[in-house]
Structure 1
């Protein structure tokens, strides 16, 4: 809180060294201070489970909850009509430590409504994966594959009618799913696709666990969090604080371009979005380059977008903050998804 009070006075003098608006600059300073001071037990105490948040969100939004319970006990929650022609399977962010929040669900509900308004009969299915430290990698990847196996093999849904998406750690998980389908991870059950997924969108994907790169310095006062909390979360997710604990599935930026060539057999089109002001942007840009060379070189269609003066998953933060007007980053992602469904 003290950081936010100080920022109230210093923010007008930050210029482009700070966030894109006075409100965000002060709010981000407060978020950095709070997130960096908490331990895992405190994060768990302060944040209800995804399924509990979903029940309350459904009540507040006026729709009846509709949940899939998989054989493992893992749940996935529908936002919209589960019988819709098109399904967005979504993996939420939060460093693999935080459950999904109501802002993320509102963002997804708005995206679903925008798709329907554009004539695309669409619903969203949100995976309530088990968070760390209770569950470590590759548990979340196993649960994601279990959900897709249920949709494709049990419900007989056509992958061509399924779009995959995720923000931050959920973007990491989405990439892990694509990697596993192209190069099966021996620690995770396999899934053979009858056809390719049509599209995938990645919002500020957490592709690198390296917090000692230049964007963590240049964007230190522009983003909502910093390296302290990311090091805590990645160690909880991997079960190790070693800088070499990640692999191609959990830390995608470490994979060479050739590794992504096989993903062209899994999905047709991929959008990768990043904010120019986020601390993760250097890792995202490196992943963009390798993915475009590998996946794109093998015939996949890649769209990359970096929005100036935008922080980590800016469009979701805008929804959480109560902004009524959709910003440029929000429009880029939403329009891309609408056009691919």
Structure 2
């Protein structure tokens, strides 16, 4: 099943969804990108969310609504936390890897008012890949992207929660073939996304690379990641299933904190957001339940 790209950009979609929910709108503008806040900028803890869309499409309504629903749960639990949705630049107007620069700049901005331990990174699809590439970038820098500088040598982000981290590269995994027709994502969609990124990337950038296609990173790169607990979910019917599980196992091998990897039986790419997009109001899929419980258990 194909999913049409949203007609609005991320910032416009954010404003629409928050207005419909009668929640205050707060957009923090930067050069070529912005932070769309759900909750006050001054909150003790911040969840930095990076949406999917292959770096070629903006956020869907479901991205904003799902996070807004989660924030309402945390607020009801009296947690001093906000969600900052990163409206990063979209290709081809914004070439790769400018998006990684924007993530690093955003993190440095957030670090001016809180420690790394109060910052959580989250995202789906390419947003999950941006999350993983940011962690790798700390010790294994992306060429042309400024260093990710944390306050101390022992600083760590609080945790990450990423859904279906993947990119537009068609790999030779079993799931990439056997899940064709089971997942709403298609090879044709992936090819078109990769063509756009390849044609518009900055000159001299090797592409794809280990930061874009995390399964191609050297195993030992997953050692010493500057983060606490890591949660990664993927659908059993996803094209990306096998490579996500491979990366998950490598992280489990080298990371010195708890790592949760969930493969949802029958799940599709970006299941929690796809279910909401399709109108589900009480989705009982394991990936959606885990994400919702994460919001419920979040302690700032």
Task: Please give the TM-score of this superposition, normalised by the length of structure 1.
Answer: 0.80
> For residue 61 of structure 1, what is the aligned residue in structure 2?
21
CA apart distance, 1:81: 2.4
- Report how far residue 239 of structure 1 moved: 3.5
Kindly indicate whether residue 295 of structure 2 is the aligned counterpart of residue 333 of structure 1. no
Task: Give the total of aligned pairs.
Answer: 291
Q: Deviations over 1:193-234 (max 9, x none)?
A: 122111001100005722443213221121112111112112
Q: 1:256 — aligned with what?
A: 218
2:176 to 213, 216, 225: 216
Note if 1:311 corresponds to 2:273.
no
SS in 2 for 1:272: strand
Distance in 1 of aligned mates of 2:143 and 2:261: 30
Deviations 1:227-266 (A, max 9, x none): 111121123224489xx82222111110122011021xx1
Q: Contact 1:163–1:198 (CA<8 Å) still a contact in 2?
A: yes
**1:111 is paired with a residue of what secondary structure?**
helix
1:230 partnered with 2:218? no
- 1:8-37 alpha-carbon deviations (Å, 9 max, x no partner): xxxxxxxxxxxxxxxxxxxx2xx2xx76xx
Match of 1:287 among 243, 247, 266: 247
Counterpart position of 1:15:
none
**Does the residue aligned with 1:262 lie in a helix, a strand or coil?**
coil
Choose the corresponding residue for 1:95, options 54, 68, 80.
54
The structure with the greater share of residues assigned to helix is: 1
Whose radius of gyration is greater, 1 or 2?
1
**1:85 and 2:50 aligned:** no
SS at match of 1:130: coil
Q: Are 1:273 and 2:230 counterparts?
A: no
Do the aligned partners of residues 340 and 259 (structure 1) sit closer, same or farther apart at CA in structure 2, a change above 3 Å counting? farther
Distance across 1 between alignment mates of 2:191 and 2:168: 11
Gaps of 5+ in 1: 1-27, 36-42
In structure 2, what is the Cα distance between the partners aligned to 1:111 and 1:213?
A: 33
Aligned to 2:74: 115
Cα distance in 2 between the residues matched to 1:234 and 1:262: 30
Counterpart selection for 1:149 from 82, 90, 108: 108
Structure 2: segments with no counterpart, 5+ residues: none
SS of match in other structure, 1:200 = strand
Q: Whole-Å Cα distance in 2 between the matches of residues 97 and 267 of structure 1?
A: 28
**Is the Cα–Cα contact under 8 Å of residues 157 and 228 in structure 2 kept in the other structure?**
yes
In the alignment, the residues of structure 2 paired with residue 326 and residue 81 of structure 1 have an alpha-carbon distance, to the nearest angstrom, of 29
Q: Do 1:273 and 1:333's aligned partners in 2 also have CA atoms closer than 8 Å?
A: no
Q: Following TM superposition, where does structure 1 have runs of at least 4 consecutive aligned residues deviating by more than 4 angstroms?
A: none
In the aligned structure 2, how far is the partner of 1:255 from the partner of 1:207?
14
Partner of 2:128: 171
The answer for the alignment partner of 2:277 in structure 1 is: 320
RMSD over equivalenced CA pairs, Å = 2.0
Distance of 1:169 and 1:320 partners within structure 2: 18
**How far apart in 2 are the matches of 1:138 and 1:260?**
21
Are residues 140 and 240 of structure 1, via their aligned partners in 2, closer, same or farther at CA, if it must alter by over 3 Å? closer
Distance of aligned partners of 1:254 and 1:340 in 2 relative to their CA distance in 1, 3 Å threshold: farther
Q: CA deviation at 1:85?
A: 2.2
The Cα shift of 1:136 comes to 2.3
Shift of 1:165: 0.2
TM-score of the two chains, using structure 2 as the length reference: 0.90
Q: Please state how far the C-alpha of 1:338 moved relative to its aligned partner.
A: 4.2
Residue 139 of structure 1 corresponds to which residue in structure 2?
98
Alpha-carbon offset, residue 340 of structure 1: 5.0
